[in-house]
Amino acid sequence: MNDPSMGERTVASNGGENRTGQVERLQAEVGRLKALLQSTQMALLHQGGESFLRKVRREKERSERYKHFFALVAFECDPDELGQALSRVQASLRNADIVGVLPRAELLTPPEEGGPPASNPGHRVGMVMPETNRQGADVAARRALRAIDGAERPFAMALYPDDSTDAVELLRMVAV
């Protein structure tokens, strides 16, 4: 007799499908649901706390102070893969690099400065790469994007101070 506490049940054979096939199907579904949950949790973690705009502003101030430069890269992401994309991109970059969810272009003025509340940040993933020039950012971005699903994706790039010295303007350049 099967022990229900072990998660097994005796099921009548349905069209020749055996218990092993049913268990494998259920395990695959559980795996898919776990991945979806993890993706959602990762997206929520990256949205919470300090906004991506604040992180870019902080890096801009640091770069000004120490006369450094940085690259900002962004790419579009399917909402279902957002959490997984954030996690894989972060794992493929250096510890000093920052990954987060970009706000939609119309939300680039934070609420504390009179902008609308950021209830839906959009589905663009942004990367801030300190002390990284255009060539280095291109290589790092392509590597990070391949880490998501092995495919090439289009991305936008802006460099401080070459393209702009304003954090909001840099974000607008890559948020379109």
Domains of the chain are 47-175 (3.30.70.270)
* Pairwise CA distance, residues 145 & 85, whole Å: 8
Please indicate whether residue 174 or residue 4 has the higher confidence score (pLDDT). Answer: 174
pLDDT band at 175 (very low <50, low <70, confident <90, very high): confident
Whether this model's pTM surpasses 0.75: no
Least Cα distance to 97 among 71, 79, 118, 77 occurs for 71
Residue tagged 């997984």 (tokens):
84
CA distance 160 to 128: 10
Question: In the predicted model, is pLDDT for residue 44 greater than 60?
Answer: no
**What pLDDT shows up at residue 81?**
83
Mean pLDDT for 16-44 is 76
Enter the tokens of residue 17. 């499908």
109/23 Cα distance (integer angstroms): 51
pLDDT digits (tens, 9 = 90+) for 122-151: 578 899 999 999 999 999 999 999 999 898
Q: What is the pLDDT of residues 50-105, one digit of tens each?
A: 678 889 999 999 999 999 999 999 998 887 788 888 889 999 999 999 998 886 66
